[in-house]
Structure 1
Amino acid sequence: MRVRVLGCSGAIAHGCRTTSFLLDDDVLIDAGTGVGDLTLDEMARIHHVLLTHSHLDHVASLPLMLDAVAALRLAAGAPPLQVHALPGTISALQAHIFNNLIWPDFSRIPSAATPLMRFVPIAVGDVLHVGGKAIEVLPAVHTVPAVGYAAAAATGYWVFSGDTERNPAFWQRINQLPVAMLVIETAFSDREKDLAHRSLHLSPATLADELDQINPARPHPRYPIYITHTKPAETGLIMEEIQRFGATPSHAQDLRHDIRWLSAGMAFEL
């Protein structure tokens, strides 16, 4: 499985794109502004979109992408784009985006029987079989209904936390999986740790506590951990704070974490 990072920033700025990952060429994890760097043909090859939650930085490109490739999909007789999301996320999109006020309701265009897009409800614990891939829905703790994902690959699981704060259930599950790579958010610096807590995001100090929950008894506990979703104005400080704790053994374990920085344009073969 190939994972292409289209966007991994917590906001926009020059060179910053918000969250979106392309698995192979047909499954999109979140639809942030990074989708806009795909060609029309690349967007038209996407058949499944898996959303973590309804916040704008994770869904902004979904309505625009549908509009951009509508003619291509209709001419090719493509099936509806399958948008997999929690029921609460689907309700938010229907009420606030695809409402014929902010954007056309592509779940009923060109007709309700043959739409360009179809919503598919999911639940934590589901294993989705999409595009020849098995992707498990993981728990997340955020200000709106939210999830993460674990995609099975030849070398292990590619795991994405989604937007989350402290999340014991997440670690309980991934400690049972052969993880090849973890992508985890750290939106704010410790200087903004109160804001991070109120908005249910991680800061470096909270991230350190969360990483302590990696089970050291696992056969391969030291998998690469990629940091995502940093706010552009805070990225430098967040990097410094994470490097300080990442360079020393963790609080509870004699284990040095392999912490790396994620950036748009990266691609991984798993």
Structure 2
Amino acid sequence: MKIRILGCSGGIGGRHLRTTSMIVDHDILVDAGTGAADLQIADLVQIDHVFITHPHLDHVACLPFIVDTVGDRRSRPLIVHATAEVIEILHSHIFNWAIWPDFSAIPTPEKPYLRFETLNLGEPVKLDNRIITALPANHTVPAVGYSLSSGGGTLVFSGDTTICPELWAEVNCIRDLRYLIVECAFPDRERRLAEMSKHLCPSLLAEELTNSQLDAEIFITHLKPGQIELTMLEVEDSIGEMRPRMLQNNQVFDL
């Protein structure tokens, strides 16, 4: 299993700033932020599955465009995997004919371009030899993280979250964990904002990792533009002994 980072920024503002999306092999997306816009049409046609962590725009902005761009080039629907609550939000607020056409009903309800598939926490979805499982998260909207396993190693992506003991209880049970991608959106001077918006800052992240039993490489994602250097310096001060690194666009993880 090969996982490539398409976007990992908490905002936009240049070619190096793309919001959250990663591609697994050639046919699975995890989130569909603006990073997915850099894929070519030939790449988009091959995507069969999209796993959504939560419905905020920085994680779903490209989903409407993907299905609109390649729906008529595919022989089967694009399957969007998400919790029931997230699917309801996507239906009500994006694929609602007012913001975007409801591609789960066109060109016909029997043969749509888009199909939603409900997933549940802790229930693995197996696609060939790849297993994707929704993990707990704690955000301002219904949200999950994901574990991605090849059978020989696992990567965990926290998605957007704040303090969430349930997440670490699940992570601690993963015996072949090799990589942890965890958000840290704000520097500590904005801890109150992080708490209000249910994100992490370096001091909160350090508190969370005291609940973990990690023997994995740690990568920091969702850094806000203009505060990247400060936040990473504070991350180093808080959890430097864990050797965290900043996640980068086009970084590849092999499992």
What range is the shorter-chain TM-score in?
over 0.9
How many Å apart are 1:153 and its aligned residue?
2.1
Preserved contact between residue 54 and residue 92 of structure 1 (Cα < 8 Å): yes
Give distance in 2, aligned partners of 1:58 and 1:224: 23
2:113 to 109, 112, 116: 116
Preserved contact between residue 164 and residue 185 of structure 1 (Cα < 8 Å): yes
For structure 1, list consecutive stretches of 5 or more residues without a partner in the other structure. 216-220, 248-255
1:192-223 deviations in Å (ceiling 9; x for gaps): 100000000000000011111122xxxxx331
Tell me which residue corresponds to 1:207.
Answer: 205
Preserved contact between residue 23 and residue 29 of structure 1 (Cα < 8 Å): yes
Give distance in 2, aligned partners of 1:197 and 1:180: 28
1:238 aligns with 2:231: yes
How many Å apart are 1:229 and its aligned residue?
0.5
What TM-score do the two structures reach when normalised by structure 1? 0.91
How many Å apart are 1:129 and its aligned residue?
1.3
Tell me which residue corresponds to 1:260.
Answer: 245
Q: Secondary structure at the match of 1:125?
A: coil
Within a 5 Å distance, the mapping from 1:15-54 to structure 2 comes to 15-54=16-55
1:26-81 deviations in Å (ceiling 9; x for gaps): 110000000001010111101000000010100000001111112321xxxx2111
Within a 5 Å distance, the mapping from 1:69-218 to structure 2 comes to 69-73=70-74, 78-177=75-174, 178-215=176-213
Give distance in 2, aligned partners of 1:92 and 1:154: 33
1:233-255 deviations in Å (ceiling 9; x for gaps): 211110110111233xxxxxxxx
Preserved contact between residue 3 and residue 254 of structure 2 (Cα < 8 Å): yes
**Code of the aligned partner of 1:259:** P
**Code of the aligned partner of 2:32:** A
Preserved contact between residue 138 and residue 160 of structure 2 (Cα < 8 Å): yes
Q: Secondary structure at the match of 2:205?
A: helix
1:64 aligns with 2:57: no
| Count, aligned residues | 253
Give distance in 2, aligned partners of 1:115 and 1:144: 27
1:81-136 deviations in Å (ceiling 9; x for gaps): 11001111111111111111111110011100000000111111111112541111
Q: Secondary structure at the match of 2:236?
A: helix
Q: Secondary structure at the match of 1:233?
A: coil
Preserved contact between residue 187 and residue 228 of structure 1 (Cα < 8 Å): yes
Q: Which has the larger radius of gyration?
A: 1
Q: Secondary structure at the match of 1:21?
A: strand
Preserved contact between residue 72 and residue 113 of structure 2 (Cα < 8 Å): no
Q: Secondary structure at the match of 1:120?
A: strand
Preserved contact between residue 223 and residue 258 of structure 1 (Cα < 8 Å): no
RMSD of aligned residue pairs (Cα, Å): 1.1
Preserved contact between residue 143 and residue 199 of structure 1 (Cα < 8 Å): yes
State the 4+ residue runs in structure 1 displaced beyond 6 angstroms. Answer: none
What TM-score do the two structures reach when normalised by structure 2? 0.96
Q: Secondary structure at the match of 1:232?
A: coil
Give distance in 1, aligned partners of 2:8 and 2:183: 9
Give distance in 2, aligned partners of 1:198 and 1:90: 24
